[in-house]
Amino acid sequence: MEIAVLDKGFVRLVEVMGSDASIVQAARVSYGPGTKTVREDAALIDYLMRHRHTSPFEMVEFKFHVKAPIFVVRQWFRHRTASVNEISGRYSVLKEEFYEPQAWRKQARRNKQGSEGELSDEEASLLLKGVEREAYQAYQTLLEKGIAREMARMVLPLNLYTEFYWKQDLHNLFHFLALRLDPHAQWEIRQYAKAIAEIVKAHVPLAWQSFEEHVLMGAHLSRTELKALQGLLTPELYEKALKELGLSGSRLQEALEKIFPPGHQL
- Name the binding residues: 55, 75-80, 86-90, 153, 169-171, 175, 180
List, in order, residues 6 or more apart from 131 with CB less than 8 Å away.
157
Q: Are the C-beta atoms of 106 and 121 separated by less than 8 Å?
A: no
Q: Binding site residues for dUMP, as ranges?
A: 75-78, 86-90, 153, 180
Q: Are the C-beta atoms of 210 and 183 separated by less than 8 Å?
A: no
Compute the half-sphere exposure of residue 180: CA atoms within 13 Å on the CB side of its CA. 23
Catalytic residue among 180, 190, 223, 251: 180
Active site (annotated) includes residue 50: no
Q: Are the C-beta atoms of 197 and 181 separated by less than 8 Å?
A: yes
Q: Binding site residues for FAD, as ranges?
A: 55, 78-80, 86, 169-171, 175
Q: Are the C-beta atoms of 34 and 67 separated by less than 8 Å?
A: no
Q: Are the C-beta atoms of 198 and 3 separated by less than 8 Å?
A: yes
| Positions marked catalytic | 180
